[in-house]
Amino acid sequence: MSISKKQTRELVDFAADVAMGAGEILKSGFNRNFRVEYKGRIDPVTEYDLKSERYIVSRIAKEYPRHVVLAEEGSGSGEQAEFRWVIDPLDGTVDYAHGFPVYCVSIGLEYNGEMIAGTVYDPERDELFHAARHQGAFLNKTRIAVSKERVLERALLATGFAYNVATAKRNNLGLFARMVKNAQAVRRLGSAALDLCWLAAGRIDGFWELYLHPWDTAASWVIVEEAGGEITRLNGRPYSIFAPDILTANPKLRRIMQEVLTGAQ
Ligand code: IPD
Ligand code: CA
Ligand code: CA
């Protein structure tokens, strides 16, 4: 069975309302004294990651009790289903824990294995990025598009580093050095979901990263594609939210970045 444009739009509107509600929760805790625990050596989780996730998951359970949830802090079974919500209740936890105002809520929706809707809310700038498949990408009420930059030397790029950067064999440091030498500049902001939305809005020309999780990219994937961006693996192969690397830009710049990242030029 397929899903109509109208149904998809209704689901995005619901997700947007939930993302903004969760964003309010995050904003109310920002720069306050809160509990921080550690999932690994440097991978933090604050009490607001958990509060935000509880809020999002309870809203979904109430409205769509048969839908499945895959969420970073462990709610839901995560199994494949007709409808699966893929949720990062707080993307940019290290930023948030330091009072660095770059973080967001990310909620994506998959229908029969395809990401069909995404909303990302940035409470600090009151910016809501949203997209429904085949219906364009928007920042608040304004339609957005990726940049047309085709020259790497003029391109502003973004990337990030996984929490295991100190120990992993494949750690992005070599690729980072290569891109810094070839691009106009490379930023590292601390929220992959926002990096991708800023790319969709033309503020960043290109983005790549290794070892992101499904919830980091699920919602933004739809937003970037609906804004005209191309998303692949670093080697140009098709992307999936479970893939170990991601590369995105407008089609021309993405191709050039792929050549530099894979050492093909
Ligand atoms: C992290 C952010 C960061 C990226 C990390 C992610 P979290 O997510 O998206 O930009 O570089 O790899 O794990 O832990 O803040 O939700
Ligand atoms: Ca994340
Ligand atoms: Ca998170």
Contact 52, 29 (CB under 8 A): no
User: Which amino acid residue places its CA nearest to atom 14 of ligand 1?
Assistant: 93
Sites in the chain below the pLDDT cut of 70: 1, 264-265
Tell me, yes or no, whether 137 and 211 share the same domain. Answer: no
Tell me, yes or no, whether 9 and 139 share the same domain. Answer: yes
Total of domains in the chain: 2
Tell me, yes or no, whether 249 and 189 share the same domain. Answer: yes
89 Cβ below 6 A of ligand 1: no
Domain harbouring 195, CATH code: 3.40.190.80
Q: Where a domain ends, among 108, 143, 178? A: 143
User: Which amino acid residue places its CA nearest to atom 11 of ligand 1?
Assistant: 160
Tell me, yes or no, whether 131 and 195 share the same domain. Answer: no
Distance 6 CA to ligand 1 centre (A): 32
Tell me, yes or no, whether 10 and 139 share the same domain. Answer: yes
Tell me which DSSP letter residue 153 carries: G
Tell me, yes or no, whether 13 and 120 share the same domain. Answer: yes
From CA 118, how far away is CA 115, in angstroms rounded? Answer: 8
88 Cβ below 6 A of ligand 1: yes
Q: Where a domain ends, among 92, 115, 143? A: 143
Tell me, yes or no, whether 23 and 135 share the same domain. Answer: yes
Distance 225 CA to ligand 3 centre (A): 22
Quick one: residue 39, left, alpha or beta (phi over 0 = left, psi -120 to 50 = alpha)? alpha
Maximum Cα–Cα distance across the chain: 53
Domain harbouring 104, CATH code: 3.30.540.10
Contact 71, 56 (CB under 8 A): yes
All residues at 6 or more sequence positions from 170 whose CB lies less than 8 Å from its CB, including other chains = 210
Distance 163 CA to ligand 1 centre (A): 8
From CA 149, how far away is CA 3, in angstroms rounded? Answer: 35
196 Cβ below 6 A of ligand 1: no
pTM over 0.85: yes
212 Cβ below 6 A of ligand 1: yes
Tell me, yes or no, whether 135 and 27 share the same domain. Answer: yes
Tell me, yes or no, whether 211 and 249 share the same domain. Answer: yes
Tell me, yes or no, whether 175 and 214 share the same domain. Answer: yes
Quick one: residue 86, left, alpha or beta (phi over 0 = left, psi -120 to 50 = alpha)? beta
Tell me, yes or no, whether 127 and 37 share the same domain. Answer: yes
Tell me, yes or no, whether 118 and 244 share the same domain. Answer: no
Q: Where a domain ends, among 143, 177, 203? A: 143
Task: Indicate which atom in ligand 1 lies nearest the CA of residue 193.
Answer: 9
Please, what is the angle between helix 214-226 and helix 192-200, to 10°? Answer: 0
Chain segment 178-234, per-residue pLDDT in tens: 999 999 999 999 999 999 999 999 999 999 999 999 999 999 999 999 999 999 999
Note down the domain range covering 233.
152-261
E runs forming strands in 61-162: 68-71, 83-91, 104-111, 114-122, 127-132, 137-139, 142-143, 156-158
